[in-house]
Amino acid sequence: MRERAPEHPDPPTAHHISLTERGSFCSASCSCGWRGPARRARDRARADADTHLRDGTPQAGTAPGM
């Protein structure tokens, strides 16, 4: 038997970004599993998160430019 796709598939979940500080470093992470690199500047971590939201970096554990 073939499986059928549900009539009403679940809508994609929204990305929820959070910033985590560890010592003098800050990194962004997303509810989808994506994590940005540790940065000394919070603004850079926020920029990484903005890039992720804009480009939709799909793989967990990857960051733009790596």
pLDDT at position 44, please?
97
pLDDT at position 66, please?
47
Nearest to 60 by CA among 37, 28, 35: 35
pLDDT at position 41, please?
97
pLDDT at position 39, please?
97
pLDDT digits (tens, 9 = 90+) for 2-52: 677 667 666 667 889 999 999 999 999 999 999 999 999 999 999 999 999
| DSSP E strands, the chain | 17-22, 25-30
H-helix segments, 1-66: 42-55
pLDDT at position 51, please?
94
